[in-house]
Amino acid sequence: MSTLKPTGLKLRGETWHIDKIYRGIRIRGSCETSSLNIATEVLEIEKEKVRKAQLFGVRPQHTFLEAATYYLKTKKKRSLAKDAWHLEIIEPFIGKLFLEDIHDATLRPFIEHRYSTHVKPKSINCALEVVRHILNLAAGKWRDKDGKTWLLQAPMISMEDIGDTAAKPYPLSWKEQDNLFSHLTRDLAEACQFKVNTGLRDEEVCHLRWDWEHEVVGHNISVFIIPGGRVKNAEDRLVVLNNIAKQIVDKRRDNGSEWVFPSTKTNKPRFNLNNSSWKTAWRAAGLPVSPKWTRGVHNLKHTFGRRLRAAGVEFEDRQVLLGHTNGSITTHYSGPEILNLIEAANSVCSSRPEAVLRRVV
């Protein structure tokens, strides 16, 4: 083969890259080789794909890395950062594969690798679900300039059997909560104290903004209304403040930030509360680390829910306080209704019964 460099090939460091307009289509990408001969062959293959697609309607092939990159650029959702994390850990296993070559067998090495690092089936399924979603978009929504979908048909991706491996919630007793919070940094302890008194999810606490606070006219109290775009069920969420939550909010009013609980290092929203400090404190407090029990910060939401139930708060009020879907419009709550919810929320801090029943494991 001739060693003359074809137009469209550029050497960057020791690797050849393609950047060429062919038949009106721009071809770009790394040849992943330092050999000019091999790079020339790769260029010819890419040109042939374009030619066949234009002449015969052949569907151009796309790698999973291309699809994942396009997904992250075009998708808008609250949990996109988590999807990006899952894609980052699965990319070494299937990133270079064409979409039509992804199926249960080619995903198996990734699954076995995750098991070898003691990851649970539920976490593995989260990554598989992102892959499945991308393949479905490629087969049903994404189209090239000729109107052809990126993928002819999406394969059936099997999920791992969770069985009885899912960890059970671990609502805290008052004594356990006091011990746990004593091992947290002051800033993290306040955020967690707020969470266990409002039932907010992790992300809702981390991104709680001052401009979401609203005064209840005529009652000298305020509430927060979290926009549906920041809530799991996409409904605006009413957040009432019991006495403890109100004390924390009042204490933090002059924190000089847009957010109620910003990171002390960046003054921007925290990524999460379930960080290394939380995990260290959980162990230091002597709380269970058995795989049968979850150790995450979401236990604080379960704790709030259990205490509401133990205090005899009605089911409908518990739904509102925990932010569960109930079809209500938060901005339509009257002053007396909000006062009733605050009274219900205060029931979890007016007494401290210690009896907690748990299944023996």
Provide long-range contacts, Cβ within 8 A and 24+ apart, for 338-343. Answer: 338/216, 338/219, 338/221, 338/223, 338/238, 338/240, 339/219, 339/221, 341/238, 341/240, 341/317, 342/221, 342/240, 342/241, 342/242
Q: Which residues of the chain form CATH 1.10.150? A: 64-140
Q: 351: buried, middle or exposed (CB in 10 Å: 19+, 13-18, 0-12)?
A: exposed
The residues, any chain, with a CB within 8 Å of residue 164's CB and separated by 6 or more, are: none
The residues, any chain, with a CB within 8 Å of residue 104's CB and separated by 6 or more, are: 155, 156, 157, 158
From first to last of its 361 residues, what are the pLDDT tens digits of the chain? 456 888 999 999 999 999 999 988 888 888 889 999 999 998 998 888 788 777 777 777 899 999 999 999 998 776 787 899 999 999 999 999 999 999 999 999 999 999 998 888 888 999 999 999 999 999 999 988 778 889 988 889 999 988 766 678 899 999 999 999 999 999 999 999 999 999 999 989 999 999 999 998 878 889 999 988 777 777 889 999 999 999 999 999 988 899 999 998 888 888 889 889 999 999 999 998 877 778 889 999 999 999 999 999 999 999 999 988 665 544 567 778 889 999 999 999 865 555 454 544 4
Residue 246 confidence (pLDDT): 95
Q: Are 199 and 245 in contact (CB under 8 A)?
A: no
Round to whole Å and give the CA distance between 17 and 43: 9
Report pLDDT digits (tens) over 151-196.
988 889 999 988 766 678 899 999 999 999 999 999 999 999 999 9
Residue 181 confidence (pLDDT): 96
Q: Which residues of the chain form CATH 1.10.443.10? A: 174-346
The residues, any chain, with a CB within 8 Å of residue 23's CB and separated by 6 or more, are: 50, 51, 54
Residue 258 confidence (pLDDT): 94
Q: Residue type at 328? A: S
Round to whole Å and give the CA distance between 132 and 80: 15
Query: Which CATH architecture best describes the domain 64-140?
Result: Orthogonal Bundle (1.10)
Residue 361 confidence (pLDDT): 41
DSSP classification of residue 326: -
What SS3 class is residue 272? Answer: coil
Residue 1 confidence (pLDDT): 44
Q: What angle is formed at CA 246 by the lines to CA 179 and CA 353, rounded to 5 degrees?
A: 40
Helix H or strand E encompassing 21: strand 15-22
308: tokens are 């509401």
| Full-model pTM | 0.62
Q: Give the residues across from 12 on adjacent strands.
A: 15
Within 10 angstroms of residue 299's Cβ, the number of other Cβ atoms is 23
Round to whole Å and give the CA distance between 13 and 2: 22
Residue 76 confidence (pLDDT): 78
Angular region, 105: left φ>0, alpha ψ -120 to 50, beta rest: alpha
Report pLDDT digits (tens) over 156-167.
999 998 876 667
**What CATH topology corresponds to 174-346?**
hpI Integrase; Chain A (1.10.443)
Q: Could you tell me where the DSSP H helices lie in the chain?
A: 36-56, 64-74, 80-94, 104-116, 121-140, 174-182, 186-198, 202-206, 243-251, 276-284, 299-310, 315-322, 335-346
260: tokens are 């109620």
Q: Residue 26 — φ and ψ, nearest 5°?
A: -85, 125
Q: Are 357 and 176 in contact (CB under 8 A)?
A: no
The residues, any chain, with a CB within 8 Å of residue 134's CB and separated by 6 or more, are: 64, 67, 68, 71
204: tokens are 């809702």
What SS3 class is residue 133? Answer: helix
- Please state, in angstroms and as integers, the Cα–Cα distance from residue 218 to each residue in 175, 339, 344, following that order: 38, 12, 20
Nearest to 330 by CA among 231, 199, 241, 236: 236
Please give the radius of gyration of the chain, using alpha carbons only, rounded to the nearest integer.
27
